[in-house]
């Protein structure tokens, strides 16, 4: 990427149609492609020309994949039907029965559920290392195929040292697979820090409008080709209109994230002083355990703030029931502010012990900050917490 990220987010991967001069990419609403000759069909099947059958690839997917790859400085990327499908594609491509995966315990709950399925159903061994026990990571990695990590983490916003994780994984002959959903390429580019594959739920900040599901994986061409083959074989494809919406959303990623992070930083400070709040986790605040690392790696605290309510779970639930402007919904990264209680949503399927290992308590609220005015968000949270005091 030679130009700046704002320019790449607008122009990267777009394809200009000289026939009509449309300023945005056309949507090719097709499941298949037709050919003048069988020789042409065979050339497309070999990947020598774009468009064969949509499960294999599609021009609207290619536009998003090229934009994501450019933003991450990657050789290649591949689009999936959801973030979870993207991670499943990585596992399907790189892991076999009998292999061992080491994962940091602080992961989105759904990622842990998927790894649990791999262990129960497909004979893959999974070992979790909590962030507090990173000292035993090198030993755990001996004989492992993959190291799975995420950062900033959902929902505690823990920031991990990607370069150190990559070095540890590589020393053991393992590959580092990194979930960058909360950072996006605007805040962090894990491939440049040594990760082998980066993936993101495009459902969140990349799409940015809470109107689509998608997932993207990027990395070296050879690895991404294996993941693309997994998409073709297992079939977790997006559709052309979703890809087009995602391309449109990604054009404003840098501008949205800048404004949302600015509002989130101000809200985090406001929450820290609020009598209804027991504790705030925001990487941009000096009180966050990884503040120094966040300053070095991310440069900004991002658009999500997590806080514990004084009054425990009942107070968190009352707040969620009383917000009017902020939505009570299990997602994040959109232009509209949303909150959710991780114990009931992102981490509902973990056992209490598993939640405790990554610091997820039942008084937590995860707040994804949108593009509304700061004062309006403060007023809404204040009335919702005031009512619960």
- Residues within the interface to ligand PLP (CB under 6 A): 82-84, 108, 110, 150, 154, 179, 181-182, 201, 203, 213, 215, 346
User: Closest approach of Cβ 26 to ligand PLP, in Å?
Assistant: 26
Catalytic residue among 99, 106, 179, 196: 179
Q: In the complex with ligand PLP, which residue's Cβ is closer, 68 or 108?
A: 108
Q: Which is nearer to ligand PLP, 165 or 213 (CB)?
A: 213
Give the whole-angstrom CA distance, residue 352 versus residue 327. Answer: 26
Q: Are 176 and 165 in contact (CB under 8 A)?
A: yes
CA distance 313 to 362: 5
Q: How many angstroms separate the CA atoms of 105 and 119, rounded?
A: 15
Residue nearest to ligand PLP (CB): 83
Residue 179 appears among annotated catalytic residues: yes
Spot the catalytic one: 67, 145, 204, 355. 204
Nearer to ligand PLP, 182 or 244 (CB): 182
**Cβ proximity to ligand PLP, 106 vs 196, nearer residue:** 106
Q: Looking at the DSSP assignment, which residues form a beta bridge with residue 328?
A: 339
Q: Which is nearer to ligand PLP, 33 or 307 (CB)?
A: 307
Are 365 and 322 a contacting pair, CB within 8 Å? no
Nearer to ligand PLP, 102 or 198 (CB): 198
**Nearer to ligand PLP (CB atom), residue 150 or residue 239:** 150
Q: Catalytic: 158?
A: no
Strands 338-340 and 215-219: unpaired
- What's the CA gap between 155 and 265, in Å, rounded? 16
Is residue 193 a contact partner of residue 40, using CB atoms and an 8 Å limit?
no
CB of 349 to ligand PLP, least distance (A): 12
Q: Smallest gap, in angstroms, from Cβ of residue 204 to ligand PLP?
A: 6
Q: Does residue 108 have an active-site annotation?
A: yes
CB of 59 to ligand PLP, least distance (A): 23
CA distances (Å), origin 277, targets 73, 274, 291: 40, 6, 20
Compute the CA torsion angle 198, 201, 207, 213 (nearest 10 deg).
140
User: Which of 99, 106, 108, 196 is an active site residue?
Assistant: 108
**What is the bridge-based pairing of β-strands 175-179 and 197-201?**
parallel
Distance CA 181, CA 328 (A): 20
**Minimum separation from the CB atom of position 54 to ligand PLP (A):** 20
* Cβ neighbourhood burial of 368 (10 Å; 0-12, 13-18, 19+): buried
Set 55, 100, 269, 322: catalytic member: 55
Shortest Å, Cβ 231 to ligand PLP:
14
Task: Give the Cα separation of 235 and 265 in Å (integer).
Answer: 40
Residue 282 annotated among the catalytic residues of the structure: no
Residues with a catalytic annotation lie at: 55, 108, 179, 204
């Amino acid at each position: 990427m030679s130009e700046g990220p704002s320019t790449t987010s607008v122009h990267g991967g777009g394809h200009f149609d000289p026939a009509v001069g449309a300023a945005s990419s056309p949507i090719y609403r097709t499941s298949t492609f037709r050919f003048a000759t069988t020789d042409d069909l065979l050339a497309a099947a070999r990947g020598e020309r774009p468009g064969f059958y949509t499960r294999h690839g599609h021009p609207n997917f290619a536009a998003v994949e090229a934009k994501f790859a450019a933003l991450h400085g990657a050789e290649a990327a591949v689009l999936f039907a959801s973030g979870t499908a993207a991670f499943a594609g990585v596992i399907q491509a790189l892991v076999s029965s009998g292999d061992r995966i080491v994962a940091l315990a602080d992961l989105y709950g759904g990622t842990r559920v998927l790894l649990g399925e791999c262990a129960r159903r497909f004979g893959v061994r999974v070992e979790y290392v909590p962030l507090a026990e990173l000292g035993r990571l090198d030993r755990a990695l001996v004989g492992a195929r993959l190291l799975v990590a995420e950062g900033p983490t959902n929902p505690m916003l823990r920031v991990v040292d990607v370069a150190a994780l990559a070095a540890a994984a590589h020393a053991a002959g393992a590959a580092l697979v990194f979930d960058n959903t909360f950072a996006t390429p605007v805040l962090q580019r894990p491939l440049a820090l040594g990760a082998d594959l980066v993936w993101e739920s495009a459902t969140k900040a990349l799409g940015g409008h809470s109107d689509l599901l998608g997932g993207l994986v990027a990395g070296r061409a050879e690895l991404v080709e294996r993941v693309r083959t997994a998409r073709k074989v297992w079939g977790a494809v997006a559709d052309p209109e979703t890809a087009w919406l995602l391309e449109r959303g990604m054009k404003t990623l840098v501008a949205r994230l800048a404004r949302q992070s600015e509002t989130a930083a101000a809200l985090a400070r406001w929450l820290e002083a609020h009598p209804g709040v027991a504790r705030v986790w925001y990487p941009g605040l000096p009180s966050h355990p990884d503040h120094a690392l966040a300053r070095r790696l991310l440069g900004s605290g991002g658009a999500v703030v997590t806080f514990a309510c004084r009054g425990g779970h009942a107070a968190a639930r009352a707040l969620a029931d009383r917000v009017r402007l902020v939505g009570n919904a299990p997602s994040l990264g959109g232009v509209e502010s949303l909150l959710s209680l991780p114990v009931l949503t992102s981490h509902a399927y973990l056992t209490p012990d598993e939640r405790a290992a990554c610091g997820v308590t039942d008084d937590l609220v995860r707040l994804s900050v949108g593009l509304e005015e700061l004062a309006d968000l403060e007023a809404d949270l204040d009335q919702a917490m005031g009512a619960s005091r």
